[in-house]
Amino acid sequence: MRASSILGMVAAVALVTACGSKPEPEQPAPEPAPPPAEAPPPPAPPPTDDGRAAREAAEAEAARLRQLTTDLTSPIYFDFDRAEVRQGNDQSLLDRKAAILGVNPAVRMRISGHADERGSDEYNLALGNRRAGAAKRYLTGKGVADNRLEVVSYGEERPSNPGHDESAWAENRRDEFEVTSGGGKLAAP
Amino acid sequence: MRRSVLLSLVGCFVLAAAAHAQDPRPGESITVGIEYNPAARPGLVVVPGVGIDSVRAIVRRDLDYSDRFEMIAVSDPGAGGSSTGPINYGLYKALGAEFAVEMADRAGKVIARLHDVNGSQIRYEVEATLPPPTDGGFRMAVHTLSDELVRRALGEAGIATTRLLLVLNGRVHQMDSDGFGLRPLTPEGQTSLSPVWAPDGRRFAYTRLGAGRGGIYVQTIATGETTQVPGTETALNITPAWSPDGRTIAYAHSDERGTDIFTALLGGGTQRLTVGRFADNLSPTYSNDGRRLAFISTRAGPPQLYAMGADGTDQELLAPFDYGVTGSSNAPEWSPDGAAVAFHREVQGTAQVHVLTVSGRKLRALTSAGRNEDPTWAPDGRHIAFVSDRSGQRQLWIIDSETGRVRQLPTPGRARLPSWSRRLAGAVIVPNP
């Protein structure tokens, strides 16, 4: 059941990836993504006769890049004391990341695993590590090269939501994805 | 004349003492989860005296916190004998005391006498030169006296000359076992976890986290000098444990292949003890003879308690559990005498401190109020410090596993991951022949 659905997704992703290689856009694009050390985006080109069309194209391109970065860096979430990637949204999100990574070979990422505050402090470091490793294994299973994905764990030390209830805990049981290099001009899959 | 005054005072005393004995201060003496059998403990009175009040107060608290005596309160220095007069054995016997501790100041030195009340004689006398109370070593020097008095009375030393390591706001702190002397040991601005004492009591190992990675470091307390344990430079290295001979640190190494237990010789050289594949192995703790390690593994699903040889062979389940029923078990620490392992296990979703007897595998829950976790043994093998939220915030508490008495070690902020030292060297005591 589960294996067959994964196979289906693999096929889907393969299709998406195959059709996904498009030439780089010429328009200079703003950089919505980290790393923050990079220079701010160049200003939009001065308006010309067809300036309006160009500006609209630039904005559309910027929005598209923002979406790509968002897809690449959106967290996935886990059940209590579990480190399996959940079927549904989280697998789809990882499939999307794999596709983007597939057409942007320069991009490297750091996956950090996190836990909620309920488990043992020390065990949660191992659990976070397992969660980050699970996402990495999923992505390398989709063809992303092993050395492009770094795995770290914060355990319960860096909650995303400081609350002490189930909704906060659910937000804190997560993997975060950070682009560490090559995140400038992302190509769409 | 004087005698009659004394006698009338004696009358008041018996009543006062009885009232005191029944009236522990709130929060200091609560029984949890175990049978409380005070009758088994010998009565002890600290004889009122003149001068050196601070020494007497510290000793009295130490003897009380040893939980080995029924403390009999007498508060009037005029009655029942004093530091300068003869000990009124008859009175103390009537109060139920087997022991009387007398302390006096003699030419800048402290004389401590342990009286055998039933035998009407001095059992032990010691003369100690203490640093001035303003000196940093003063309290520990007094604690040394206390521990020696316990040893002379019962054959085994007390635990006053001990300290605890704990984590507060991401920094390792130390604190005397009576709650005094809290001070940070690791710098601000880094996240430190899992401090553990070296057997020599002069160093500790801990995990320093940074950017999702972490190394194991060894710090010398007196100098602050810190070195990284060789082999822990990459990925995430957690839960250090010191071998009893002080030469090896066992720890868990986490990377994308999982979390497994390694040992590092402090002189260099690592050995891998577990191969988890998709299971995690962590939180090693050495037996007192250094031959075995208890540890936590997820090999059967939720984290549970296992044991293995110090070379990784002969791995076995240590604390029995029912699959799908028993909650997660974590944070084991082998007792100083090797007979038991303390750890915490989830009971109905809340961590409780448990003690497992190694031979016979008998399991006992020590706590039930609130969430209780991360137990660490005192060197007497009967007191256990742990983290509890029973007061609302996570704080350090100590339970005497024999009597069930608990007391809090208050800290500013949320206390985590305590480690109890062995007995530390204090003042030099020169006993009289």
ipTM of the complex: 0.85
User: Measuring CA to CA, which residue among B372, B407, B387 is closest to residue B167?
Assistant: B387
B261 at A interface, C-beta within 8 A: no
| Mean pLDDT, residues A14-41 taken together | 44
Q: Identify which has the larger pLDDT, A151 or B17.
A: A151
CB B195 within 8 A of CB B204: yes
Distance of CA B47 to the CA centre of its chain: 27
A180 touches chain B (CB under 8 A): no
Q: What are the residues facing A77 on neighbouring strands?
A: A174
d(CA B207, CA B282): 13
State both tokens at A119: 């488990």
Report chain A residues whose CB lies below 8 A from the CB of B214: 125
A-chain residues within 8 Å CB-CB of B344?
Answer: 120
CB contact under 8 A, B193 and A121: yes
Question: What pLDDT, on a 0 to 100 scale, did the predictor assign at position B78?
Answer: 52
Our measurement of the distance from residue A83's CA atom to the centroid of its chain's CA atoms, rounded to an integer in Å, reads 18
A125 touches chain B (CB under 8 A): yes
Determine, for residues B255 and A120 on separate chains, whether the beta-carbon distance falls below 8 Å: no
Distances B89 to B57, B80, B86 between C-alpha atoms, Å: 22, 8, 9
Q: How confident is the model at residue A49 (pLDDT cuts 50, 70, 90)?
A: low
Cβ–Cβ under 8 Å, residues B196 and B220? no
Q: Does A38 or B232 have the greater pLDDT score? A: B232
pLDDT at B50 (0 to 100): 78
Q: What is the pLDDT of residue B324?
A: 87
Residue A136 forms contact with B (CB below 8 Å): yes
Check A151 against B258: CB less than 8 A apart.
Answer: no
Taking the Cβ of residue A119 and every Cβ of chain B, the question of whether any pair is shorter than 8 Å is answered with: yes
Inform me whether the C-beta atom of residue A151 falls under 8 Å from chain B C-beta atoms: yes
Q: Which two tokens stand for residue B183?
A: 């001070």
How far lies A128's CA from each of A86, A116, A175, B48, B171, in Å? 15, 9, 8, 57, 21
Cα–Cα nearest to B332, from A122, A124, A125: A122
Judged against a pLDDT cut of 70, whether residue A153 lies above it is answered with yes
Determine contact, residues B243/B310, Cβ cutoff 8 Å: yes
For residue B181, what are the contacts with CB-CB under 8 A and spacing of at least 6? B139, B163, B174, B175
Residues of B whose CB is below 8 A from A109: none
Q: Is 80 exceeded by the pLDDT of residue A149? A: yes
Under an 8 A CB cutoff, do B238 and A125 touch?
yes
- Minimal Cα–Cα distance from A50 to chain B, Å? 48
- Cβ proximity of B406 and B391 under 8 Å: no
Q: Measured between CA atoms, how close is B408 to chain A, in angstroms?
A: 21
Interface check A153 vs B, CB under 8 A: yes
> Using the beta-carbon criterion (under 8 Å), do B256 and A125 form an inter-chain contact?
no
Contacts of B328 in chain A (CB under 8 A): 81, 119-120, 123
| B102 at A interface, C-beta within 8 A | no
Each residue's pLDDT, cut to its tens digit, for chain B (433 residues) gives: 333 333 333 333 333 333 333 333 333 333 344 444 545 899 999 998 877 888 999 999 999 999 999 999 886 655 444 445 688 999 999 999 999 999 998 888 999 999 999 999 999 999 999 998 898 899 999 999 999 999 999 999 999 999 999 999 999 999 999 999 999 999 999 999 999 999 999 999 999 999 889 999 999 999 999 999 999 999 999 999 999 999 999 999 999 889 999 999 998 899 999 998 779 999 999 999 999 999 999 999 999 999 999 999 999 999 999 998 999 999 999 999 999 999 999 999 999 999 999 999 999 999 999 999 999 999 999 999 999 999 999 999 999 999 999 999 999 999 999 999 999 975 444 444 3
CA distance A69 to chain B (A): 21
User: At A13, which amino acid appears?
Assistant: V
- Find chain B residues with C-beta within 8 A of A134's C-beta: none
Q: Is the dihedral of CA A100, A105, A110, A115 positive or negative?
A: positive
* Alpha-carbon distance values, B100 to A5, B47, B119 (Å): 78, 6, 11
Helix (H, G, I), strand (E, B) or coil at A113: strand
pLDDT score recorded for residue A22? 38
B263 at interface of A, judged by CB pairs closer than 8 A = no
A84-141: pLDDT as tens digits:
999 999 999 999 999 999 999 999 999 999 999 998 999 999 999 999 999 999 999 9
Q: Tell me the C-alpha distance between B328 and A125, whole Å.
A: 15
> What pLDDT, on the 0 to 100 scale, is given for residue A119?
87
Question: What does the radius of gyration of chain B's CA atoms come to, in whole angstroms?
Answer: 24
What does the block give as tokens for B290? 């250094």
Residue B23 is given by DSSP the state -
Substitution target in B168, B254, B261 with the highest count of A β-carbons within 10 Å is B254
Report the gap between the CA of A176 and the closest CA in chain B (Å).
11
Partner-chain contact B258 A136, CB within 8 Å: no
Tokens encoding A30: 């703003």
Tally A–B CB contacts below 8 A. Answer: 76
CA–CA gap between residue B53 and residue B57 (Å, rounded): 6
Q: Containing H/E element for B99?
A: strand B97-106
Confidence at A1, pLDDT banded by 50, 70, 90: very low
What's residue A24's pLDDT? 42
Question: Which pLDDT value is given to residue B5?
Answer: 30
Q: How confident is the model at residue A41 (pLDDT cuts 50, 70, 90)?
A: low
With CB atoms and an 8 Å threshold, state whether B193 touches A129.
no
Query: To the nearest whole angstrom, how far is the Cα of A181 from the nearest Cα of chain B?
Result: 16
Predicted TM-score (pTM) of the model is 0.83
Three-state secondary structure along A32-98? CCCCCCCCCCCCCCCCCCCHHHHHHHHHHHHHHHHHHHHHHHCCEECCCCCCCCCCCHHHHHHHHHH
* Both structure tokens of B386: 């742990």
What is the least distance, in Å, from the CA of A51 to any CA of chain B?
45
B-chain residues near A152 (CB < 8 A): 211-213, 236
Give the number of other CB atoms < 10 A from CB of residue A72. 22
Beta strand residue intervals within B273-361, DSSP E: 281-286, 292-297, 304-309, 316-317, 329-334, 340-347, 350-357
Q: Angle at CA B119, nearest 5°, toward B113 and B121?
A: 35
B283 close to A (CB below 8 A): yes
Q: What is the DSSP letter of B310?
A: T
3-state helix, strand, coil in chain A (%, to 5): 45, 15, 40
How would you label B220-233 residue by residue, b for 16+ Cβ within 10 Å and e otherwise?
Answer: ebeeeeeeebebbe
For residue A47, what pLDDT band results from cuts at 50, 70 and 90? low
3-state secondary structure of B247: coil
Minimal C-alpha gap between A178 and chain B (Å)? 12
Find chain A residues with C-beta within 8 A of B259's C-beta: 126, 129-130
pLDDT attached to residue B356 = 97
